[in-house]
């Protein structure tokens, strides 16, 4: 019953977007408009989807969006997810990705409900730069408070994701090194991918792994440490062992061959790759009264056809049919 695609990749990692609304308008992600494009489902539907995927050997569920903490009822949803068991009888490894704006008050309740870890997005460690990127005033203080609350709540290790954009924040790399050490968080830099609403991506804007390492070496020497093949991030430690840095390099060092992920959008469509040019209407099937066995057959069929790899930067690249905020990062 396990999910394995036609290239032999086991699919063990489910990402569920619970809304495509977001309270930030990051320049590299959103056009700056307010609205959601797609609908949300009731939590009961996401729970059924998670239960069916769990029966197929999924081990890890990441709740994402849009901004998942905008959704009322997220704590109860985590509690319900925590009661599920996968086909091996194991509880799900529950994680959540957030911009951190609303995390301060929610960190403790989320932990108590069964969330294990949290990843917070933060693209600058300087408040003014942060506001320029997110296009929201005074967000930095909230996010910092959210990160600290997550640590206090034991949602560890807290990971902080930073997308680097040339001309915006590439000079923040050393400051993020200091931040990782001071705050006791894992800072992970992500190469900018062509998944933005404005379609402004160009290879020149991408700050690639090699340059990130060079910039960080002006701060302190870094050494690579082992990572699991299916982990997206390459991992590094500073020379004195204090502070961990990750680099997620889908553009310069694609890891599609080890991809273990499948995504469900806020409106219940399955996406087998961030760069899929179509999606698969699981919610439509559910709402037409499909049984669990029918959903399982559908999911197996969809997973079989998971894309082999992305084609970023190649002549035959076709933009994804949805942008990041409407997929779920
Ligand atoms: N709102 C939540 C957050 O801010 O983390 C979850 C959704 S957000 C779309 C998930 C992650 O995708 C964030 O870390 C964001 O920086 C990243 N992201 C958005 N657009 C991206 C792009 N074009 N390339 C790389 N990462 C991107």
For position 228, what pLDDT does the model report? 85
CB distance 16 to 50 below 8 Å: yes
DSSP for 116-163, please give it: -EEEEE-S-SSHHHHHHHH--TTHHHHHHHHHHHHHHHT--S-EEEEE
Nearest CA to ligand 1 atom 14: 121
Atom number, ligand 1, closest to the C-alpha of residue 191: 25
Residue 284 Cα to ligand 1 midpoint, Å, equals 27
Residue 65 Cα to ligand 1 midpoint, Å, equals 9
Nearest CA to ligand 1 atom 25: 192
What does the block give as tokens for 153? Answer: 């709540």
For position 35, what pLDDT does the model report? 67
Strands in the chain per DSSP E:
13-17, 60-64, 93-98, 117-121, 159-164, 186-191, 222-225, 233-238, 244-248, 261-264, 269-271, 280-281
Q: How far apart are CA 149 and CA 56, in angstroms?
A: 34
241 occurs within a structural domain: yes
For position 1, what pLDDT does the model report? 79
Atom number, ligand 1, closest to the C-alpha of residue 201: 23
- Sequential pLDDT tens for the chain (329 residues): 799 999 999 999 999 999 999 999 999 999 877 668 899 999 999 999 999 999 999 999 999 999 999 999 999 999 999 999 999 999 999 999 999 999 999 999 999 999 999 999 999 999 999 999 999 998 999 999 999 999 999 999 999 999 999 999 999 999 999 999 999 999 999 999 999 988 889 999 999 999 999 999 999 999 999 988 778 899 999 999 999 999 999 999 999 999 999 999 999 999 999 999 999 999 999 999 999 999 999 999 999 999 999 999 898 899 999 999 999 98
> Is 275 touching ligand 1 by the criterion CB < 6 Å?
no
Domain range for 318: 13-327
How much is the pTM? 0.97
Q: How far apart are CA 173 and CA 162, in angstroms?
A: 9
> Is 95 touching ligand 1 by the criterion CB < 6 Å?
no
Residue 289 Cα to ligand 1 midpoint, Å, equals 34
Q: How far apart are CA 138 and CA 181, in angstroms?
A: 24
> Is 196 touching ligand 1 by the criterion CB < 6 Å?
yes
CA 287 from centre of chain: 27
1 occurs within a structural domain: no
Number of domains in the chain: 1
Q: How far apart are CA 242 and CA 110, in angstroms?
A: 28
4 occurs within a structural domain: no
Atom number, ligand 1, closest to the C-alpha of residue 192: 24
Give the β-pairing of 13-17 and 60-64. Answer: parallel
Residue 325 Cα to ligand 1 midpoint, Å, equals 7
Q: How far apart are CA 259 and CA 232, in angstroms?
A: 8
Residue 108 Cα to ligand 1 midpoint, Å, equals 23
Residue 6 Cα to ligand 1 midpoint, Å, equals 28
Q: Give the residue among 151, 152, 176, 149 at the shortest CA–CA distance from 162.
A: 176
> Is 28 touching ligand 1 by the criterion CB < 6 Å?
yes
CB distance 99 to 143 below 8 Å: yes
CATH number at residue 171: 3.20.20.70
Residue 194 Cα to ligand 1 midpoint, Å, equals 12
> Is 65 touching ligand 1 by the criterion CB < 6 Å?
yes
Q: Give the residue among 209, 100, 107, 117 at the shortest CA–CA distance from 157.
A: 117
Position of tokens 């409407």?
A: 326
């Amino acid at each position: 019953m396990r999910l394995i695609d036609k290239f032999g990749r086991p699919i063990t990692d489910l990402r569920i977007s619970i809304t495509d609304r977001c309270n930030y308008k990051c320049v590299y992600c959103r056009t700056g408009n307010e609205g959601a494009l797609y609908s949300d489902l009731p939590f009961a539907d996401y729970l059924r989807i998670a239960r069916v995927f769990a029966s197929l050997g999924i081990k890890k569920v990441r709740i994402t969006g849009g901004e998942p903490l905008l959704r009322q009822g997220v704590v109860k949803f985590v509690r319900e997810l925590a009661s599920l068991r996968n086909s091996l009888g194991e509880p799900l490894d529950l994680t959540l990705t957030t911009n951190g704006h609303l995390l301060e008050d929610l960190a403790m309740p989320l932990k108590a409900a069964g969330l294990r870890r949290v990843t917070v997005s933060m693209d600058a460690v300087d408040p003014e730069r942060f506001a320029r990127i997110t296009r929201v005033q005074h967000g930095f203080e909230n996010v910092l408070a959210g990160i600290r609350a997550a640590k206090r709540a034991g949602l560890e290790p807290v990971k902080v994701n930073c997308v680097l954009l040339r001309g915006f924040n590439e000079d923040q790399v050393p400051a993020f090194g200091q931040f990782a050490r001071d705050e006791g968080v894992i800072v992970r830099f992500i190469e900018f991918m062509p998944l933005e609403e404005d379609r402004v991506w160009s290879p020149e804007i991408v700050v690639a792994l090699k340059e990130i390492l060079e910039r960080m070496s002006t701060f302190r020497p870094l050494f690579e440490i082992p990572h699991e093949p299916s982990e997206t991030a390459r991992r590094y430690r500073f020379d004195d062992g204090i502070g961990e840095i990750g680099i997620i390099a889908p553009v310069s060092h694609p890891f599609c061959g080890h991809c273990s992920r499948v995504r469900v959008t806020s409106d219940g469509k399955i996406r087998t790759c961030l760069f899929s040019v179509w999606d698969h209407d699981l919610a439509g099937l559910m709402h037409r009264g499909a049984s669990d066995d029918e959903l399982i057959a559908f999911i197996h069929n969809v997973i079989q056809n998971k894309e082999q790899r992305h084609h970023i930067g190649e002549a035959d690249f076709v933009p994804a049919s949805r942008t990041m905020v409407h997929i779920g990062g």
